[in-house]
Amino acid sequence: MIQMKQPEDAPRAFQTAWNKHDMESLGTLFHQDATFVNRFGHYVRGVDEIVQLHAPIHATIYSDSTLENELIDLVTISADAVVLHFWSRLTAGAAHPAGPHAVDTLILAVLTRQAGEWRIKALENVTLTNPRTGEAVLRDGPAS
């Protein structure tokens, strides 16, 4: 199990679980009733649904993918609740039907601490696109 000792650990913990393609570990990052919206707007609620959303793609098209996350900011709501924004670069490999390519997204995550443990309560992932064409774009910056 990947533990998050502080909210700032979330981007790295998410990245680690993804890069190991360990969806059970990914599930441990979330509260049981957490919500997740993927980059295509697919909404699920609950750890089981979050794992079920990710397991098939990690067994197939994302089986050789990697993720690189970079914290942008943290906004404290209370001693036990924060909002995080972080950049995420998905690098798909040869297993993807479109072949090797990269996709940048912006992730918003709400984390809460319950019983002394930080976990993700809600996460939404948005693909960076050109607003005029809808074409995916890569951001400039350290993940480039």
Separation between Cα atoms, residue 29 and residue 43, nearest integer Å:
17
| pLDDT range class, residue 3, cuts 50, 70, 90 | confident
Q: Given this model, what pLDDT does residue 20 score? A: 97
Domain with residue 12: its CATH number is: 3.10.450.50
Sheet containing 101-114: order of strands: 43-45, 30-37, 117-127, 101-114, 81-92, 66-78
* Domains identified in the chain, total number: 1
Is residue 136 in some structural domain? Answer: no
Range of the domain at 77: 7-127
Is residue 84 in some structural domain? Answer: yes
Is residue 57 in some structural domain? Answer: yes
Is residue 81 in some structural domain? Answer: yes
Is residue 15 in some structural domain? Answer: yes
pTM for this prediction: 0.93
Tens digits of per-residue pLDDT, 7-44?
999 999 999 999 999 999 999 999 999 999 999 999 99
Is residue 18 in some structural domain? Answer: yes
